[in-house]
Amino acid sequence: MQGKWIVGLLAGVALAGVFVAPIRPVSAEDQPNIAEMVKNAKTPADHLALAAQYDKLAADAQAQAASHRTMAETYKGSESPKGVVRSTAMVGHCTTLAKSFDAQAKEYKAMAEAHRQMAK
């Protein structure tokens, strides 16, 4: 019985670590001002710089999606103290966010490719 308690405690601590490091979209402070870059883009180098920024945003969104897919799998495999309903809700939440971040990544990749084409 004590073994299950320790395993539960360790799982709780590991899961808490996921929530301590907040998952947030890339903010304005984390990146150059893309609106300004777009407004001032005139040369191939300007467009390639924009493509690089969109590539970075796509990679960040993909990482967020992967993180949420991992959390969904964790919730699927854990017993919630509030029962199955809570775990099911968290799986749905994480799955929805993963899909949203996947969609963001796809759009950012398209923007990057468009700016690479403008650089030609």
87: left (phi over 0), alpha (psi -120 to 50) or beta: alpha
In this structure, of 57-61, 69-73, 104-108, the range with the lowest mean pLDDT score is 69-73
* Structural domain that includes position 85: 2-118
Residues in the chain: 120
pTM: 0.69
pLDDT at 49: 96
Quickly state the pLDDT bin for 7 (edges 50, 70, 90).
very low
Q: What is the number of domains present in the chain?
A: 1
In this prediction, residue 64 carries a pLDDT of 98
Q: Name which residue leads in pLDDT, 14 or 107.
A: 107
Q: What's the rounded mean pLDDT across residues 65-93? A: 80
Backbone angles phi, psi at 67, to 5 degrees: -60, -45
pLDDT of residue 112: 97
The predicted pLDDT at position 76 comes to 82
Q: At what angle do helices 44-77 and 84-118 cross, to 10 degrees?
A: 170
Mean pLDDT for the chain overall: 79
Q: Does residue 20 surpass a pLDDT of 80? A: no
